[in-house]
Amino acid sequence: MPVPISVIVVGKDAQVRSETRAYLAATGRVHVIAESADYQRAVELIEQLQPQGAVIIVDGEEAAALKLVREIGRAYPHTAILCTGQHCAGETIVRAYRAGAHEFLMQPPDPQELREVLERLEALLGEGQGSRTGRVIAVYSSRGGSGTTTIAVNVAAALARRMHQETVLVDLNLQYGCLPVFFGVEPTYSLTDVAHNEARLDIQLLRSFLTKVADGFYYLAAPLKPEEADDIFPAHLEMAFGLLRTQFAHIVLDTPHILDPHTIAALDHADLILLVTLGDLVSLYTTKRGLEVFRRMGYEAEKIRLLLNRYKNKEVPLGKIEEVLGQKIAFTLAEDARATWEAINVGKPVVLSESKSPLVRQFIELAKLVAPMEAASASSGESGRRFFSALFGGGR
Ligand SMILES: Nc1ncnc2c1ncn2[C@@H]1O[C@H](COP(=O)(O)OP(=O)(O)OP(=O)(O)O)[C@@H](O)[C@H]1O
Ligand SMILES: [Mg+2]
């Protein structure tokens, strides 16, 4: 199965938009990178974000919707157009096709029909422009201080500098992000600039907001002032991820521990979640809750990889931990407080240092594991449903 298609969703009614997003996301074959209630704004979004497809809700606003279909067909002939609606008469469907829609989908969609429609759109896009390659990897822990940032930093560094695949790391700890300390490079721009420039954000502008660590390795900083976190909405993150996917091989997300709408948007969007736990009882207790909530969110088992950090061999046997969590441990990282402490002091990730720490080899192995896993997850179309986004009101 090919890389998920990036789309914008356009429609007047927020409820229908949200249901449409849920149907699409549940297939794992589509990434919604922006939505709009305004049919005119949709044209600007296509110009800005260059999505592969536009999903246009025709209900109640037929004239505006079909005008948009014609406009996209004229100005962006490589954009796949899927029209959809809940109460559309046969004539509306015919008019949508005449205006230039590639597909029409009645809602609620029959799962088989939805699959077929997406297959045809994938084939259509395959004939035209090349698909995007970037993959989003979220590093998450249900408990603070488990090593989420350390792992995100080192996996990203290994992908970029050891495996030579252009990578960007995004700091989603919106109030107190701390990536500058890990790299010894101060940012000039941050996610705040993404939010403040939402109307004109494109990949060139977004690239100018990244902080360069080394060739092929960048980070997108959290707001420079904690109070600016309020300016950032989940929709800004989706837009940024969608754009970054068009140019980077890997987008690694350092996520906070709270399951708020921003974190949910990030986890939903991720192709792979590295779930970090420690081996102590409190960590295992919270990690078990985390795994349960991921299941309720509809995430496929394949989307989640459990990492055991700071593991000392004399601790609880791995089999016991797996039994408690009901989940296989995908990777184990050793305890080495000295190496991680030194890395922060010199502003250079362990994996790029001369350190003799076992963590150097382990982070490289982990990055190797992540890269093929991503390819596999893309080909099996794994992606979480946005069920939880709906619960949390994931948009703005
Ligand atoms: N494998 C390891 N061995 C020893 N110390 C480690 C290891 N991994 C992380 N640490 C240390 O644990 C502390 C917490 O790590 P880190 O900041 O990466 O966790 P976090 O989950 O991102 O925390 P926060 O909740 O603050 O975001 C840091 O001092 C870090 O150096
Ligand atoms: Mg952290």
Question: Which domains, and CATH codes, for the chain?
Answer: 5-127 (3.40.50.2300), 135-389 (3.40.50.300)
- 97 CA distance to ligand 1 middle (Å): 55
Atom of ligand 1 nearest to the CA of 150: 18
Q: What is the pLDDT of residues 219-267, one digit of tens each?
A: 999 999 999 999 999 999 999 999 999 889 999 999 999 999 999 999 9
- 185 CA distance to ligand 2 middle (Å): 17
For residue 375, pLDDT over 50 is answered with no
150 lines ligand 1 (CB under 6 A): yes
For residue 118, pLDDT over 50 is answered with yes
Q: CB–CB of 55/121 below 8 Å?
A: no
- 182 CA distance to ligand 2 middle (Å): 11
- 15 CA distance to ligand 1 middle (Å): 41
Residue 376 confidence (pLDDT) = 39
Q: Which of 172, 308, 340 is the pocket-test mutation for ligand 1 (most atoms within 8 Å of CB)?
A: 340
Q: What are the tokens at 376? A: 């596999």
Q: CB–CB of 167/248 below 8 Å?
A: yes
pLDDT winner (highest mean) among 26-30, 107-111, 363-367, 392-396: 363-367
In sequence order, the 6+-apart residues with CB closer than 8 A to the CB of 123 are: none
Average pLDDT, the chain: 89
Which alpha helices (H) appear in the chain, and where do they start and end? 14-26, 39-49, 62-75, 90-99, 111-127, 148-157, 179-183, 191-196, 203-208, 234-245, 261-269, 281-296, 318-325, 337-346, 358-380, 387-392
141 lines ligand 1 (CB under 6 A): yes
Residue 28 confidence (pLDDT) = 81
149 lines ligand 1 (CB under 6 A): yes
Q: Which residue would you say has higher pLDDT here, 373 or 166?
A: 166
Question: Going by CA atoms, what residue is nearest to atom 26 of ligand 1?
Answer: 145
Average pLDDT rounded to a whole number, residues 178-189: 97
pLDDT class of 381 with cuts at 50, 70, 90: very low
Q: What is the pLDDT of residues 137-151, one digit of tens each?
A: 999 999 999 999 999
Percent of the chain with pLDDT over 70: 91
Q: What are the tokens at 308? A: 């055991």
- 132 CA distance to ligand 1 middle (Å): 33
347 lines ligand 1 (CB under 6 A): no
218-232 residues labelled b (16+ CB within 10 A) or e (exposed): bbbbbbbeeebbebb
Q: Which residue would you say has higher pLDDT here, 311 or 315?
A: 311
- Residue 189 phi, psi (nearest 5): -120, 170
pLDDT class of 312 with cuts at 50, 70, 90: confident
Residue 127 confidence (pLDDT) = 59
Q: What is the pLDDT of residues 40-72, one digit of tens each?
A: 899 999 998 889 999 999 988 899 999 999 999
Q: Which residue would you say has higher pLDDT here, 210 or 242?
A: 210
Q: How far apart are CA 274 and CA 370, in angstroms?
A: 9
Q: CB–CB of 287/277 below 8 Å?
A: yes
Specify the residue for token string 């279909």: 69
Q: Which residue would you say has higher pLDDT here, 131 or 85?
A: 85
Residue 221 confidence (pLDDT) = 98
Please report which ligand is nearest the Cα atom of 155.
Answer: 1
171 lines ligand 1 (CB under 6 A): no
Side chain identity at 9, as an amino acid letter? V
pLDDT class of 89 with cuts at 50, 70, 90: confident
Residue 199 confidence (pLDDT) = 87
Q: Which of 143, 150, 174, 277 is the pocket-test mutation for ligand 1 (most atoms within 8 Å of CB)?
A: 150
For residue 384, pLDDT over 60 is answered with no
Neighbours of 328 (CB within 10 A): 10
**Rounded to whole angstroms, what are the CA distances from 165 to 127, 219, 223?**
26, 14, 26
Residue 26 confidence (pLDDT) = 82
Average pLDDT rounded to a whole number, residues 159-171: 95
* Strand-pair partners of 251: 136, 168
- 325 CA distance to ligand 2 middle (Å): 23
CA dihedral of residues 38, 44, 48, 53 (deg, nearest 10): 70
Specify the residue for token string 């992000």: 177
DSSP 57: E
Please report which ligand is nearest the Cα atom of 279.
Answer: 1
Residue 2 confidence (pLDDT) = 59
For the chain, what is the largest distance between any 2 Cα atoms, rounded to a whole number of angstroms? 71
Average pLDDT rounded to a whole number, residues 372-378: 47
Average pLDDT rounded to a whole number, residues 338-366: 96
CA angle 8, 267, 55 (to 5 degrees): 15
CA 255 to chain centre: 11
- 145 CA distance to ligand 1 middle (Å): 5
38-47, 202-211, 313-322, 345-354: the lowest-pLDDT one: 313-322
> pTM of the entire structure?
0.82
pLDDT class of 380 with cuts at 50, 70, 90: very low
Return the H-helix or E-strand segment holding 35. Answer: strand 30-36
